[in-house]
Amino acid sequence: MSRIGKKPVAIPEGVTATVDGRTVTAKGPKGELQIVLDAEVTVEKTEDGIKISPRGNTKVARSKWGLSRTLVANIMVGVTEGYTKSLEINGVGYRAAMQGNNVKLLLGFSHDVVYEVPEGVTVVCPKPTEITVSGIDKQKVGQVAAEIRSYRSPEPYKGKGVKYADEVIFRKEGKKK
């Protein structure tokens, strides 16, 4: 039995949620999100919130039960609060700046890296060494942050590169004479 899947997803105040077959739609102050759940789970709206249960007692249905509940909970948080990921840039001469809808990254290459921000995600550079990615879709926010980080992921000797703000880089000792 999934401990997470058993709990109904509470519908926050100011959010209207509708269930149409396998499709769950949530509309809140930040925007509207929709998710189509797997055929192995059933979804229904009750007075407690949105309840998800496995369609059968198969291993596949039970494994998708908790995941489906978490995906529905994520869209509820997204339309009310939204999601934010912070990135830090470490290194001499490494910096970022916004150019319209693009992020211009100077990461020690012979050329500037220009990253085009997808629709539905907002990127802000409050300082030249900080990048803040925000939006209502948790998957998109994480994907954009991961793509920006992938241009120059942090290296273990000096810690140079783009890292998440809460990420800890394990440092290695250099060569000794």
- pLDDT at residue 2 greater than cutoff 80: no
Give the architecture-level CATH label for domain 83-164: Alpha-Beta Complex (3.90)
Helix segments in 84-169, DSSP class H: 138-150
Closest CA to 32 of 136, 116, 126, 135: 136
Q: Which CATH architecture has domain 3-80?
A: Alpha-Beta Complex (3.90)
Confidence category of residue 114, pLDDT binned at 50, 70, 90 = very high
Q: Tell me the mean pLDDT in the region 93-97.
A: 94
Q: Does residue 10 have a pLDDT over 80?
A: yes
Q: What's the predicted TM-score (pTM) here?
A: 0.89
pLDDT in tens, 37-94: 999 999 999 998 999 999 888 999 989 999 999 999 999 999 999 999 999 999 999 9
Residue 5 has pLDDT above 90, yes or no: no
Query: Is the per-residue pLDDT at 126 higher than 80?
Result: yes
Domain boundaries in the chain?
Answer: 3-80, 83-164
CA dist 70 → 13, 116, 158, 161 (Å): 19, 29, 38, 32
Residue 4 pLDDT level (bands cut at 50, 70, 90): confident
The chain-wide mean pLDDT, for the chain, equals 92
